Amino acid sequence: MRPAVAHAVMALAVCCLGESRREWSLAMQIEFETAVAEGKALPFAIGCLAAAGREMLTREEGRFVLTSYALALCLMIPMAALQIGCAVLGLPYLYAGQGGLRGALLEGGTQEALLRGVYQAAVPSLSLLLLLLGLGHLRIAWAMLERDWSRVRRAGMLTLAAAATLIIFMGTLFLDSRQAILQAAVLAIELATLSVVTRWHAQLFRAAVAEDSGS
């Protein structure tokens, strides 16, 4: 088990260094093989990962990578997990007081008796929209980490459309859509942040091309 963990940590360290530090990563891998033979693979790999992390903080390219992964792991994936989980578990977070569909009815609304069947029939559609929102977040995160910005824009617009559809659908059914509006606002912030990340990547790419041309 320890050798497998050591190799995984070492692979992560090499990925953190990137192409611009290829010679350093090759040297670390050669030293890693020696550490494996001496039975010190895991401590050496952890040291390499720490060194790679410090190196990333000193370079703009490294800071860009760290920002991308932080955005994906700390915001997009948790949002996707929340929305997919709620779609599977019956939409608990969308409704006031965690009361499920009944909790979504606006207080004092007289429409409950008349539209109860409509509310129950709407649950699959609401769940599907939430599922699409969660999958959209995952797709955006994946495309961002692959630096496929055109796919990021397409996925972002489709996900935003799903969020708007969810809000409109809940509004027409007189459902409490405050949580859905909050999720749409978070998505809008994500997309605005991604536009900044996209411009940052473009600047890095232009700088790299200029550096290669100069050499």
CB atoms within 10 A of CB 183: 23
Per-residue pLDDT tens over the stretch 165-191: 988 887 777 776 777 888 888 889 989
pLDDT tens-digit readout, 133-173? 999 999 999 998 888 899 999 999 999 999 999 888 877 77
CA 97 to chain centre: 27
pLDDT digits (tens, 9 = 90+) for 37-72: 888 888 888 888 888 878 777 778 778 888 888 888
Residue 106 has pLDDT above 50, yes or no: no
pLDDT at 212: 47
Token pair in block for residue 60: 């703009």
Contact between 17 and 53 (Cβ < 8 Å): no
